[in-house]
Structure 1
């Protein structure tokens, strides 16, 4: 059984966990706080980032892209249809939005929220920077408007079929939802999409997450929210 080095609220590892659950792959979870830069973890990944997927007698998959391609290569063909479209134009749109979520959205929203609200909890005397959080909140609203505009004309993020782009966005949104940073009353089409993907069996692994001394926002685990 593979082992995934992860943090419960890290969006990249949440996406990997969704993939594994969707493909029916059991996995051992080993929690890491990458921002602590512990020596044993740095020996595995000097970049001090998760996810890292470890399997016996195989080279560890280090980082998001290495991990998702390892999962797609080893598990998708023998289980269910993969999350990467086979049609070129659909695949291009999926990768465009995958990059948007894990690049632009992460850099302008999620990364700041995690640094200020989660990582600083492990820094003596550190307190969240309200200015940074205000900027992240403003950026979040702009991104949600764009995603809602996309969902007004398509069932899933990149088209009519669910893809890896949906799992990427769901991973980030679920992290923010755990903390209580999503106003679902104003989310429009985003709420319908999240309700559908949140109801998938693969999502149960995320809805059961709990972080010590940081309980989830009310409604986080509810399918009817």
Structure 2
């Protein structure tokens, strides 16, 4: 059985978990806190980033792109299409949006909120910086406007079919929603799309995630929110 080194609120780890669940691949999960930079973890990934996917291959999938490609290469079911479109144009649009999410959205929003709200709890005397939280939430508003526009004109994020881009965005928004940072009242199109994503069986394990001493926001696990 493949195993995944992850943190419950790390969106890149959530993306890999969603992909495996969608493809019916069971995972053993090993939870760590990457910001603690433990030696065994750094030995496998000196960049101190998650996830790390171990499979039957000798080489693990280290980091989100490596792990995503490993899942797609090894576990795409033969009976159904995978999350990467066969058409080159559709594939290009999907990767454009995946990059937007795992790079731009993460660098401008998600990683700051996780650092301030989660990682700082392991730093003695550290408290969240209100200025950083305000900036991240302000950036999130701009991102949500863009996602709203996309989803008002398309059935799915990258076009007419569900792709890896939908799973990448759902992974990030699920982490942000857990922490209570998404104002769904100002994101109707994205909320409707996210409700469809949350209703997929692949989402069930994520909606059961809990972080010690930090319960999820109201409505986090509700399909009708």
TM-score (norm 2): 0.98
State the shift of 1:55 in Å.
2.2
Match of 1:179 in 2: 179
Residues 5 and 32 in structure 1, CA contact (< 8 A), matched pair in contact too: yes
After superposition, the C-alpha distances for 1:135-174 in whole angstroms (9 at most, x for unaligned) are 0011000000000000111011000100000000000000
Q: Residue 124 of structure 1 aligns with which residue?
A: 124
- CA distance in structure 1 between the aligned counterparts of 2:188 and 2:42, rounded to whole angstroms: 42
SS of structure 2 residue aligned to 1:145: helix
Unaligned runs of 5+ in 1: none
* 3-state secondary structure, aligned to 1:147: helix
For each residue in 1:22-76, what CA deviation from the matched residue of structure 2 results, as whole angstroms up to 9, or x when unmatched? 0000010000100000011111111111100112452111111110111100110
Question: Which runs of 5 or more structure 2 residues have no equivalent in the other structure?
Answer: none
- CA gap of 1:26–1:19, structure 2 versus 1, over 3 A, is same
Residue 153 of structure 2 aligns to a residue in which SS? coil
Q: Aligned equivalents of 2:88 and 2:61: distance in 1?
A: 26
2:142 aligned partner:
142
In structure 2, C-alpha distance between the alignment counterparts of 1:56 and 1:97, rounded to whole Å: 30
| Equivalence for 2:41 | 41
Q: Which moved more, 1:158-167 or 1:184-193?
A: 184-193
Q: Distance in 2 between matches of 1:177 and 1:74?
A: 31
CA gap of 1:10–1:79, structure 2 versus 1, over 3 A, is farther
Q: Which moved more, 1:40-49 or 1:92-101?
A: 40-49
Q: 2:210·2:216 contact (CA, 8 Å) conserved in 1?
A: yes
**8 Å CA contact 2:7, 2:13 repeated in 1:** yes
Counterpart for residue 32 of structure 2: 32
**8 Å contact 1:6–1:31 — kept in the other structure?**
yes
In 1, Cα distance between equivalents of 2:106 and 2:14: 13
Q: 1:22 matched to which residue of 2?
A: 22
Tell me the distance in 2 between the aligned counterparts of 1:57 and 1:191: 38
Distance 1:19 1:86 in 2: 17
After superposition, the CA RMSD in angstroms is 0.9
Count the aligned residue pairs. 225
Counterparts of residues 102-113 of structure 1 (less than 5 Å): 102-113=102-113
